[in-house]
Chains A and B, each alone.
Chain A
């Protein structure tokens, strides 16, 4: 439930995310999918929609779509491409090849870090459009442009369109969903998921209703280029709709454009009627039916996904849901699990990873060293403060062992055996003080501790010394 809206109101959010797939070439032709460079230098007859050109489907795009679909718990099925017909200058054929009635992935779900699930209706393949730049006095805005320039470098790049069910009730949920989706896509190598660079594009469908009522009319919000903008846009739009309804007006179903500068959504120039895309099956392409062999091979090769990694931390390291989310998000779960496997205390390992390893470089830590550090702290060889300091230096130079660092910093990790020897030696050297201590003069412990500290230049653990003395006394 969102805190943003007045009492009695709730918002309903669904997200459509377009992810650029990490293939070498475009969806239907052999031009590179990723490129820098001058406009219209990455083109071919299919990309330009020239007369006589024909599309041929990229096998790797299908592979990545299957990977993403399985990672999102979808059913991967026989699918058919369809033409989505509309006119726009960056859409060279006058239609986009997409999937409509039979998409490749259906009926999945994604688990948010707090354990709740968001349903995924479908995830299908489609081609990207080119780019229009609006020129003239208007500062790049369509409405004031004198003319436009079109670049087809991007046209034909493979996209996976992932449509969630309207299961989210707050902008926080929406942001968590996108962050989790991005992690999943990156983990399986389907996309690099960079919102700011446009390889992950998010459109939000937002509606509001009084609690208990039917679903309200929704608006689609476009032009959201970061997680922060997503949150702001959703909150603004939901409040806008509530204000409208409370003023006795209706919410008009439309597409609205988020303006990050003004912090508002605004209507795009409205069209008289909803666009009729006149979808029909693409006659230039044949059906794709991956079959169980291909699908199971992809499933078997999937890497551990964020949700599974979180669950493992909870099960094997005793992490809380919240802590597990942070640790996995940082990519430090392997580190923590290695520490546990090496005998370190799970809770302590999780705590250090969660609170003291925010630095990106922490991922490069040597698992054996990390495990050792946790065990050293657990064994009392390092205080908490000392452990954090050692950890910080391990991040700076992962090749150094915690023992070496501790030694260099003077946090000499005294071997317990060494300590015993030292104490026994002092006992032997100071028989009268020892007799007094054994007779019950506890204060004499201070003498021995002082001697131990002198001998070790203050590095011994006082508590351990006292424990030893008491043990020797019997």
Chain B
């Protein structure tokens, strides 16, 4: 399949029409999405109008932008003006935002063609997309298996070949983990790198928007387009978008890479572990020096995260009350209206996290839970920074296992939360991380390896990602096999 970079080149050069590119994408979606349900909504008419505008610009000799004519899918927690944005929740069913998220506007300005809104775990809470109020998304490589979550729809849309690019959001691993399970590239940028304005908030100090792509170069291209300071987001860092692509081929010679001990514990499946070691060998073969390092506090990441994220979420989701927008279940008093609306409008996982968060913030428990968790967060940050004084990059699995079957982990919330053990700590620290497909597991399903970098150092991170992409094994068992 054609990469986004090549499509944009062809469209800008007048070799391909954006409307033709769009038609292919829509046909691919039409052919398979009844089965996969990657999309909540396909916006064919709006997409066509955008594609036609790109073609007109090219015909007029104007530059339509670096993503000219590239079809892109948007996670359905990104506000799109006049187009339903549901967060896969009943409570927002049918709500049309009166404005675009900043990233949506930047994509449009770059000539990209948004084709629809993708499915997610409700309000981005989950690791399998089974928590969607509108039904799950299926893994394109094996429809009996989950695509991961919460950005399952966006991962599947790229993995299924519908579109070369999609946007997701990552609060505890919600881009990287589905990227790993679906065999595509997924990036969580440095916190503050990409504006959160228009991203429906889950946990404000952890949420970041990032790209899914089939290639590292495409991911870099999309990240360049959406990055950069936004005065409308007070947590947006001052830096403008980094020039990622120009260093992609620089290689890793002389770089020091650390395998994170805390992310290679007993909970990691042997086939995944084997692939990570293979990846380490590939980096070493390319001239990096690979050692083992420790980020001790990272072992407590899950605990800290499942206090902090629900706490912020419990507050962020208080606005869903039936007063101004979205679902309202009528009642004879407003307090009752709140209760009925929220009880009927939210699914179980959302309710669980709201209650957990409310408890962690409540009088008498704040210090023990929220206060403690934010201090553990400081330790995690310090331990990462200490590790980055010894090495330039870190390496780990993205997900402890390959994609699991539907219903495998829904009985016990803790079992589901364990999926994010390797990804959560870098949300807490704000550091960037990428999942790169690297072979398959014993079940033939994709394995992703995670490269982590210091704050703001996406450039170095992408260099390693490019090396891993080039060295990635073809299909075949990891353990007991030898190279490839």
Contacts and interface: CB of A to CB of B under 8 A. Distances in A.
B97 A51 contact: yes
A315 B258 CA distance: 74
A157 to B, nearest CB: 18
B130 interface: no
A280 B323 contact: no
B234 A49 contact: no
A1 interface: no
Interface string B69-106: 00000000011000001010000100101110100000
Nearest to A90: B323
A54 B197 contact: yes
Contacts of B205: 283
B165 interface: no
A87 B201 CA distance: 18
B458 interface: no
A51 B199 CA distance: 8
A320 to B, nearest CB: 51
Contact of A93 (B231, B234, B318, B335): B318
Nearest to B87: A51
B264 to A, nearest CB: 31
B235 A94 contact: no
A283 B312 contact: yes
A290 to B, nearest CB: 16
Contact of A87 (B196, B199, B318): B318
A399 interface: no
B365 to A, nearest CB: 10
B128 to A, nearest CB: 23
A85 B318 contact: yes
A52 B201 contact: yes
A88 to B, nearest CB: 9
B315 A92 contact: no
A106 B311 CA distance: 28
A55 B234 contact: yes
A51 B85 contact: yes
Nearest to B230: A54
Contacts of B361: 85, 278-280
B363 A276 contact: yes
Contact of B315 (A53, A54, A95, A286): A95
Given A87-B318, A283-B312, A284-B204, A278 B199 contact: no
A95 B320 CA distance: 12
A285 interface: yes
B389 interface: no
A56 B102 CA distance: 15
Contact of A50 (B325, B338, B363): B325
A150 B334 CA distance: 12
Interface in B359-385: 361-363, 366, 370
Nearest to A148: B334
A94 B357 CA distance: 15
Contacts of A343: none
B58 interface: no
A441 to B, nearest CB: 95
Contact of A57 (B197, B233, B234, B317): B234
Chain A interface residue count: which class? 20 to 34
A52 B324 contact: no
B200 interface: yes
Nearest to A284: B204
A22 to B, nearest CB: 23
A92 B326 CA distance: 13
A107 B198 CA distance: 39
A48 B98 CA distance: 11
Contacts of A367: none
A276 B366 CA distance: 11
B122 to A, nearest CB: 13
A52 B79 contact: yes
A405 to B, nearest CB: 60
Contacts of A93: 318-319
A278 B356 CA distance: 13
Interface string A112-143: 00000000000000000000000000000000
A279 B335 CA distance: 21
B316 to A, nearest CB: 8
Contact of A278 (B79, B233, B362): B362
A318 interface: no
Interface in A50-92: 50-57, 83, 85, 87, 89, 92
B276 to A, nearest CB: 33
Given A56-B231, A92-B324, A148-B334, A51 B319 contact: yes
B334 A89 contact: yes
A150 B85 CA distance: 24
A323 to B, nearest CB: 51
A280 B233 contact: no
Contacts of A150: 323
A54 B234 contact: yes
B197 A94 contact: no
Contacts of A49: 319, 324
Nearest to A46: B232
B201 A280 contact: no
B298 to A, nearest CB: 21
A263 interface: no
Given A95-B318, A278-B363, A284 B235 contact: yes
B139 interface: no
B321 interface: yes
B460 interface: no
A45 interface: yes
B127 interface: no
A54 B232 contact: yes
B398 interface: no
Nearest to B364: A276
B358 interface: yes
Contacts of A52: 78-79, 97, 99, 101, 197-201
Contacts of A92: 319, 323-324
Interface string B189-214: 00000001111110111000000000
A87 B198 CA distance: 23
A85 B315 contact: yes
Interface of A: 45, 48-57, 83, 85, 87, 89, 92-95, 148, 150, 276, 278-280, 283-286
Nearest first, the 9 A-B pairs at minimum CB distance are A94-B318, A283-B204, A278-B361, A283-B205, A51-B200, A52-B198, A52-B79, A49-B319, A276-B363
18 contacts: A48-B324, A50-B324, A51-B95, A51-B201, A52-B79, A52-B101, A52-B198, A54-B232, A94-B321, A148-B334, A150-B323, A276-B362, A280-B366, A280-B370, A283-B205, A283-B235, A283-B312, A284-B234
Given A50-B99, A283-B204, 14 more contacts: A48-B324, A49-B319, A52-B101, A52-B199, A54-B197, A57-B234, A87-B318, A89-B334, A92-B324, A95-B315, A278-B361, A280-B311, A283-B235, A286-B235
